[in-house]
C-alpha cells in the first residue's frame, strides 16, 4: 500500500539510488527526507538487499525518530526476514501511536496471512476499511484470505465490492471467475459476467470468463461465441484462441481446433505450445504420423518440453515403434523426474512388451508416494494380466493398509476376488466399497465385463445388480 514509487519516475529513482550508493562507497554521511528513505528502503527490499535496507532504516530512525512511516518499514523488514514476532510487537506500538494509519493494519494482515492465520488477517484488513481511501485494495486482500479459507462465497462478496470501486481491474475479474467456479455457482457466474458485459462490452477478460462459465455448464457453442467476442476485441492476445481451441477439443472437433492453433502460430512467438496441441489433436484423430511430425516441431522449438516428448513417445508406440517410444518417454521422465504419470506410462509399456523394469518402477512409485491409487492399481493389474491373482490381491491389500477408505481399491479387490471365484468374499468387499462410494459400482461392472464374459460372470453380475439397492446410485 506504499505509493512512494508512484511519486518518482524511473530516472529519479535511479538517481536517488546512485546518490546513496556513492555516499556509501565514499564512506560519506547522508541525509534524506522521509519519503526518499521509504522509497530507498522499498527499492532494496524488492532487490533483496537486506544489508542496505537495514542501514537505511537505522539512519532514517536517527534522522526522523518520530516517523511512523519509517518504523513501519522496519516492521515490514522484520516480516520479510521472518521475524514476525518482532514485526507484530512493533506494529502494536505503531497502532497506539497512529491508530488511523491503515498501513499498520494492512501490514499486520499481511503478516498473519504469511503465517496462514487467515481469520486474523481478515480482522486486521477490516480494521483498515474505515481508515483508508484505497478500499478496493483492502477488499481484494480480504477476498484472498477468504479464498485461503476455502470460503469462496465470502470471497465473491468482497471481490464484487472491489470491482464496484475498480470496474476494470482484470485481476479481480479473474479471481471472481475462479471463486464462482470453486463455489459451484456457475449459473450466477454467467449472470454476473453477462450483466457486467452489458456495462463493459469491451472487456476482454470478462468475455473469456463468460466463455469458461458456459463451458462448465456444457454450453460449448455459447462459449465459442464468447471467445470469438474476446478475439474481436484483441486479436493479438492468444488466450481467447487457446480457450476456443480447447472448447473444440472438448467437442471432439479436432480439425477445427487445429485451425485455431494454426491461427495462434501467426501471433504467438512460443511455437512449441501450439505445435504440441496440434500434435495432440492428430493423436486423438489417430493420425499418429502427423502427431509425431507436430510433436517433433514442438521439440525443435523447446527441447525441454517434456509433454511433447511423451506425446511423441506414445504416438510411436501406437505405430508399434517400441524402441523409439521408450526412448522418448524416458527422455520425458529425465526432463520431469517428479511426474509420476510418466513413470506409470513407461511401466505399463515395459510390462506389455514383456521387458524388464516395469515392476521396479511400480514399487519405486508406491514407495515414494504410498497414497498413489493409480500406481497401486496398475501394479496389481500387471500381476492380474499374468494370471497371478493371488499377488494382485496381495498388492491391493497392502494398498488398503495405506488407504483404508479408498473405494476404488475395494472395487478392484472385489473384482480380483470374483476372478478367483470367491463370490461371497467379493460380495462383502463390494458392500464396503458401496458404503464409501456407491456411484463407482458402474465402473466395477464395466471392469469385470472387460475381463470375462463367460456364463459364470454374467450370472454373478446379474445377481449382484439385483441385490444392490439402486437408490444408492441416484
Using CA of residue 42, residue 48, residue 54, residue 55, what is the dihedral sign? negative
What are the pLDDT digits (tens) for 135-154?
A: 999 999 999 999 999 999 99
Q: How far apart (Å, rounded) are the C-alpha atoms in residues 121 and 458?
A: 60
pLDDT at residue number 474: 42
User: What nine digits make up the cell of 254?
Assistant: 479436432
Q: Buried b / exposed e across 24-34, counting CB within 10 Å, b at 16+?
A: eeeeeebebeb
Residue 36: CB atoms within 10 A of its CB come to 20
Q: Using a pLDDT cut of 90, give the percent of the chain over it.
A: 62
Q: Is 372 left (phi over 0), alpha (psi -120 to 50) or beta?
A: beta
pLDDT at residue number 418: 86
Q: Which helix (H) or strand (E) covers residue 290, if one does?
A: helix 288-301
Q: Are 138 and 128 in contact (CB under 8 A)?
A: yes
Q: How far apart (Å, rounded) are the C-alpha atoms in residues 25 and 284?
A: 64
DSSP letter string over 196-258?
HHHH-TT-HHHHHHHHHHHHHTT-HHHHHHHHHHHHHH-TT-HHHHHHHHHHHHHTT-HHHHH
Chain-centre distance for alpha carbon 45: 28
What are the pLDDT digits (tens) for 240-257?
A: 999 999 999 999 999 999
On the question of pLDDT at 469 being above 70, the answer is no
Q: Which helix (H) or strand (E) covers residue 110, if one does?
A: helix 102-114
On the question of pLDDT at 75 being above 60, the answer is yes
What are the pLDDT digits (tens) for 116-125?
A: 999 999 999 9
User: What nine digits make up the cell of 353?
Assistant: 512388451
pLDDT at residue number 458: 61
Q: How far apart (Å, rounded) are the C-alpha atoms in residues 164 and 83?
A: 37
pLDDT at residue number 468: 58
pLDDT at residue number 5: 45
pLDDT at residue number 4: 46
DSSP class of 104: H
DSSP class of 6: G
What are the pLDDT digits (tens) for 277-326?
A: 999 999 999 999 999 999 999 999 999 999 999 999 999 999 999 999 99
Q: How far apart (Å, rounded) are the C-alpha atoms in residues 461 and 458?
A: 5
Range name among 95-109, 266-280, 401-415 with the lowest pLDDT average: 95-109
- Residue 193's pLDDT band (boundaries 50, 70, 90)? very high
Give the closest residue to 73 by CA, choosing from 99, 96, 46: 46
- Span 6-21, average pLDDT: 75
User: What nine digits make up the cell of 298?
Assistant: 514442438
Q: Are 383 and 393 in contact (CB under 8 A)?
A: no
What are the pLDDT digits (tens) for 434-467?
A: 889 988 887 887 787 665 555 555 666 666 666 6
Q: How far apart (Å, rounded) are the C-alpha atoms in residues 401 and 340?
A: 21
- Rg from Cα positions in the chain: 30
Q: What is the mean pLDDT of the chain?
A: 89
Q: Are 386 and 370 in contact (CB under 8 A)?
A: no
Residue with cell 470375462: 452
- Span 54-66, average pLDDT: 85
Q: How many Cα atoms sit within 13 Å of 278 on the Cβ side?
A: 23
- Residue 53's pLDDT band (boundaries 50, 70, 90)? confident
Name the packing angle between helices 204-216 and 220-233 (round to 10°). Answer: 170
Q: Buried b / exposed e across 435-473, counting CB within 10 Å, b at 16+?
A: eeebebbeebbeebeeeeeeeebeebbeebeeebeeeee
pLDDT at residue number 174: 96
DSSP letter string over 416-458?
HHHHTT-HHHHHHHHHHHHHH-GGGHHHHHHHHHHH--SHHHH
Q: How far apart (Å, rounded) are the C-alpha atoms in residues 141 and 122?
A: 8
Q: How far apart (Å, rounded) are the C-alpha atoms in residues 196 and 194?
A: 5
- Residue 3's pLDDT band (boundaries 50, 70, 90)? very low
Q: Are 412 and 385 in contact (CB under 8 A)?
A: no
On the 0-12 / 13-18 / 19+ scale of CB atoms within 10 A, 79 is buried
Amino acid at each position: 500500500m506504499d505509493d512512494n514509487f508512484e511519486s518518482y519516475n524511473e530516472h529519479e529513482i535511479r538517481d536517488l539510488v546512485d546518490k546513496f550508493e556513492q555516499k556509501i562507497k565514499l564512506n560519506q554521511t547522508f541525509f534524506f527526507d522521509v519519503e526518499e528513505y521509504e522509497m530507498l528502503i522499498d527499492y532494496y527490499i524488492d532487490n533483496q538487499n537486506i544489508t542496505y535496507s537495514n542501514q537505511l532504516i537505522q539512519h532514517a530512525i536517527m534522522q526522523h525518530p518520530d516517523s511512523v512511516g519509517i518504523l513501519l518499514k522496519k516492521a515490514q523488514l522484520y516480516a520479510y526476514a521472518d521475524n514476525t514476532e518482532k514485526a507484530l510487537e512493533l506494529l502494536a506500538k505503531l497502532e497506539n501511536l497512529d491508530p488511523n494509519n491503515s498501513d499498520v493494519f494492512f501490514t499486520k494482515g499481511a503478516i498473519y496471512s504469511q503465517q496462514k492465520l487467515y481469520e486474523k488477517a481478515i480482522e486486521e484488513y477490516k480494521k483498515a476499511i474505515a481508515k483508508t481511501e484505497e478500499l478496493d485494495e483492502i477488499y481484494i486482500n480480504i477476498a484472498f484470505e477468504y479464498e485461503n479459507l476455502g470460503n469462496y462465497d465470502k470471497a465473491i462478496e468482497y471481490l464484487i465490492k472491489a470491482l464496484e470501486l475498480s470496474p476494470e481491474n482484470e485481476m479481480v475479474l479473474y479471481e471472481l471467475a475462479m471463486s464462482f467456479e470453486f463455489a459451484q455457482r456457475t449459473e450466477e457466474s454467467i449472470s454476473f459476467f453477462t450483466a457486467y458485459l452489458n456495462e463493459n462490452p469491451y472487456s476482454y477478460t470478462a468475455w473469456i470468463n463468460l466463455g469458461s462459465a458456459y463451458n462448465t455448464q456444457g454450453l460449448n457453442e455459447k462459449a465459442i461465441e464468447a471467445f470469438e467476442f474476446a478475439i474481436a476485441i484483441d486479436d493479438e492476445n492468444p488466450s481467447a484462441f487457446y480457450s476456443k481451441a480447447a472448447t473444440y477439443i472438448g467437442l471432439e472437433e479436432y480439425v477445427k481446433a487445429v485451425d485455431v492453433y494454426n491461427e495462434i502460430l501467426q501471433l504467438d512467438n512460443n511455437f512449441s505450445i501450439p505445435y504440441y496441441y496440434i500434435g495432440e489433436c492428430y493423436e486423438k484423430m489417430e493420425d499418429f504420423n502427423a502427431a509425431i511430425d507436430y510433436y517433433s516441431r514442438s521439440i525443435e522449438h523447446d527441447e525441454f518440453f517434456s509433454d511433447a516428448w511423451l506425446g511423441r513417445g506414445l504416438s510411436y508406440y501406437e505405430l508399434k515403434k517400441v524402441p523409439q517410444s521408450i526412448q522418448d518417454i524416458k527422455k520425458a521422465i529425465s526432463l520431469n523426474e517428479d511426474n509420476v504419470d510418466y513413470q506409470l506410462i513407461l511401466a505399463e509399456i515395459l510390462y506389455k512388451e514383456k521387458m524388464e523394469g516395469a515392476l521396479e518402477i511400480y514399487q519405486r512409485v508406491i514407495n515414494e508416494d504410498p497414497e498413489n491409487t493409480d500406481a497401486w492399481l496398475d501394479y496389481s493389474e500387471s500381476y492380474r494380466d499374468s494370471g497371478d491373482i493371488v499377488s494382485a490381491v496381495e498388492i491391493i491389500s497392502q494398498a488398503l493398509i495405506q488407504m483404508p477408505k479408498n473405494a476404488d481399491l475395494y472395487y478392484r479387490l472385489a473384482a480380483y476376488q470374483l476372478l478367483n471365484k470367491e463370490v461371497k468374499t467379493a460380495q462383502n468387499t463390494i458392500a464396503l466399497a458401496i458404503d464409501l462410494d456407491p456411484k463407482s459400482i458402474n465402473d466395477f461392472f464395466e471392469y469385470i465385463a472387460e475381463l470375462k464374459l463367460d456364463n459364470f460372470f454374467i450370472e454373478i453380475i446379474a445377481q449382484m445388480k439385483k441385490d444392490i439397492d439402486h437408490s444408492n446410485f441416484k
